[in-house]
């Protein structure tokens, strides 16, 4: 049995997580012909690129000390009741999924599934995700997730441009989520694409438009019939992208049924914590004719020599690790852990459960609309799913009253506020919101006087088609059945629970258990990304600390934590370089040198 070395700090994070013992290090050095690590470093790392000083970083802490400090910082966050919406919603992560996926190293330490034979569990979970998206959007094919809804919309714009290559203008409806519009604009600029933003109902297509993006329901909750808009787009030779709310699609006519070519969105509200904006798994679905322009991972099914089904990554010739600078996209991964949670949420609840959740959310929203109208408030849109736009004299005043009551609403200009409901909403929330608009807790009428709220979804927008009919979504509605299914999939996968993973790339290999604890703390998991700044002081402190430490380690003046993947970091860096040259009057410099040995995302990003 291996003995632990003497004079070693047993509580040291490094000792607990850097695998080789002193004896093993000595054995490796002996094999290489060096007497110590310093001599190996001297031989391997040129002296002129080594740092000649100690890094100015705080003293290392033990796991217990670090967790205590993180807990203290996180308590500076204030978790208010959020009704902000805008693509992000509180939800309930089923305990069987939280404990056995989100908090389970068998799922969160597994590596990118390049080797299909040791990744069958995750590949099945991702196949479930793809099937869920195909069913809910009524489109032909879906990938294994992307990074976020806004990025997915930008990728959809690229697909449209590839499908209609000789045009340069992309239309974006002005009632899309603001963050989506911003990302699409940023992505369009270096591609030479012109973005036109406007009212979808008044927009006239011409032969310069290659595609269009619309939100369903709109960012302020309105439900529109887009069928005629899609027809006009197709008649003009353009491709249509619909950014659709995934839960709403259990009740609303899916994009594929009114002619959309691409559907994108966020699956966060299917059991994934808010987490101040991420990480979450976006979805991307399209028609079969566009499948080779689709970004990201795609899981397919083959059969082995004995006829048994076997999962593997499919159509990889689209991807950066093969096509490099000619790749469909620079994105080389999927949000696997979050996609697995979302897909298992659908497996656990099934089609009846998802529809019941959506119906309850809609019923409560409709009840609030009735109550506010009874108070004399104006509800801007007759048709909605989970979000209403309330016209007010001053949105600032209403938001102040809401803040005093411990909840957050969304300002929609100076004279309107948005209120979004979700899976966690209760009748007490309606009472709270009514008191805010009433200005007092004294009621003008009893709740029962309102009666049963009407359905605010127009008949033409109702979904009549079935979804999630595969047995996998209809046979795991008890905790024990779900638990066994999750464990069966986990046993078919390689993770750090079974072996070291000797692959070197940009993917993180270590998620220490102590590092995973905070993601389940309410102060970390339940903050909306658009919560007021005075409620997010803890997050800001954590981000500031990390930025300062990374700046010291890398030697740069500043750090951005905005990119949510290595591919996005590369792209952001190239955009910064491009803008730097443009600021110096050298925008003509458009050649990027990339070594042939570079990771495939490098040429794909360039």
Helix axes 479-490, 120-137, angle to 10 degrees: 120
Q: How confident is the model at residue 4 (pLDDT cuts 50, 70, 90)?
A: very low
pLDDT of 5 over the 50 cut: no
Q: What is the pLDDT of residues 123-143, one digit of tens each?
A: 999 999 999 999 999 999 999
Pick the closest to residue 553 from 66, 58, 39, 70 (CA basis): 58
Q: Which residues contact 177 (CB under 8 A, 6 or more apart)?
A: 86, 87, 149, 150, 215, 219, 243
Contact (CB, 8 A) for 228 and 205? no
- Integer Cα distance of 406 and 66 in angstroms: 30
Q: How confident is the model at residue 475 (pLDDT cuts 50, 70, 90)?
A: very high
Q: Mean pLDDT throughout 443-450?
A: 56
Task: Enumerate the H helices of 439-477 as residue ranges.
Answer: none
* Domain-wise residue ranges, the chain: 13-49, 82-86+351-461
CATH number of 82-86+351-461: 3.90.1150.10
Q: What is the pLDDT of residues 488-523, one digit of tens each?
A: 999 999 888 888 777 655 555 677 899 899 999 999
Q: What is the pLDDT of residues 315-361, one digit of tens each?
A: 875 555 555 556 667 676 789 999 999 999 999 999 999 999 999 99
Query: Does 258 sit behind a cis peptide bond, omega within 30 degrees of 0 on the bond before it?
Result: no
Pick the closest to residue 268 from 536, 539, 526 (CA basis): 526
pLDDT of 73 over the 50 cut: yes
Q: Mean pLDDT throughout 546-550?
A: 96
- Integer Cα distance of 368 and 415 in angstroms: 19
Contact (CB, 8 A) for 182 and 562? no
């Amino acid at each position: 049995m291996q003995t632990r070395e003497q004079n070693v700090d047993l509580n040291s994070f490094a000792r607990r997580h850097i695998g080789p013992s002193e004896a093993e290090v000595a054995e490796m050095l002996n094999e290489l012909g060096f007497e110590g690590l310093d001599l190996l470093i001297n031989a391997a790392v040129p002296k002129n690129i080594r740092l000649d000083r100690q890094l100015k970083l705080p003293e290392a802490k033990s796991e217990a000390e670090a967790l205590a400090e993180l807990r203290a910082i996180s308590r500076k966050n204030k978790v208010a009741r959020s009704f902000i919406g805008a693509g992000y919603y509180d939800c309930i992560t089923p305990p069987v999924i939280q404990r056995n996926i989100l908090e389970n190293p068998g799922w969160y330490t597994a590596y990118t599934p390049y080797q299909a034979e040791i990744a069958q569990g995750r590949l099945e979970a991702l196949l479930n995700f793809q099937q869920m998206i195909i069913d809910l959007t009524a489109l032909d094919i879906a990938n294994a997730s992307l990074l976020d809804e806004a990025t997915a919309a930008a990728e959809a714009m690229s697909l449209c441009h590839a499908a209609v290559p000789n045009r340069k203008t992309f239309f974006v409806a002005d009632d899309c989520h603001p963050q989506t519009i911003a990302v699409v604009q940023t992505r369009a600029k270096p591609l030479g694409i012109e973005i036109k933003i406007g009212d979808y109902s008044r927009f006239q297509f011409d032969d310069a438009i290659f595609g269009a993006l619309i939100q369903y329901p709109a960012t302020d909750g309105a439900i529109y019939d887009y069928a005629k808009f899609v027809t006009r787009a197709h008649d003009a030779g353009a491709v249509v992208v619909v950014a659709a709310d995934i839960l709403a699609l259990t009740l609303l006519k899916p994009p594929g049924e009114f002619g959309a070519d691409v559907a994108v969105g966020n699956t966060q509200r299917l059991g994934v914590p808010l987490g101040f904006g991420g990480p979450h798994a976006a979805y991307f679905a399209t028609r079969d004719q566009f499948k080779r322009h689709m970004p990201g991972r795609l899981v397919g099914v083959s059969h082995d020599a004995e006829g048994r089904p076997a999962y593997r990554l499919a159509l990889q010739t689209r991807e950066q690790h093969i096509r490099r600078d000619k790749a469909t996209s620079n994105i080389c991964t999927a949000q696997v852990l979050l996609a697995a949670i979302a897909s298992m949420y659908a497996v656990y609840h099934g089609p009846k459960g998802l529809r019941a959740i959506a119906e309850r959310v809609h019923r409560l929203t409709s009840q609030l609309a009735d109550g506010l109208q009874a108070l004399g408030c104006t509800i801007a849109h007759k048709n909605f799913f989970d979000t209403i736009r309330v016209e007010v004299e001053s949105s600032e005043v209403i938001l102040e009253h809401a803040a005093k009551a411990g909840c957050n609403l969304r300002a929609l200009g100076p004279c309107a506020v948005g209120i979004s409901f979700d899976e966690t909403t209760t009748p007490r929330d309606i009472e709270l919101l009514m008191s805010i608009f009433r200005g007092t807790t004294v009621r003008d009428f009893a709740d029962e006087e309102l009666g049963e709220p009407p359905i605010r979804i127009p008949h033409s927008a109702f979904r009549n088609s079935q979804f999630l009919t595969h047995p996998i979504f209809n046979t795991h509605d008890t905790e024990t059945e779900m638990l066994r299914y999750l464990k069966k999939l986990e046993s078919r996968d390689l993770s750090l629970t079974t072996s070291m993973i000797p692959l070197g790339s940009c993917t993180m290999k270590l998620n220490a258990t102590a590092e995973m604890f905070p993601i389940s703390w309410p102060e970390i998991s339940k903050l909306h990304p658009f919560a007021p700044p005075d409620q997010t002081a803890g997050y800001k402190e954590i981000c500031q600390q990390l930025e300062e430490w990374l700046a010291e380690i890398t030697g740069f003046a500043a750090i951005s934590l905005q990119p949510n993947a290595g591919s996005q970091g590369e792209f952001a860096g190239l955009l910064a370089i491009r803008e730097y040259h443009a600021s110096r009057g050298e925008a003509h410099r458009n050649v990027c040198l990339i070594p042939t040995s570079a990771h495939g995302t490098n040429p794909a990003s360039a």
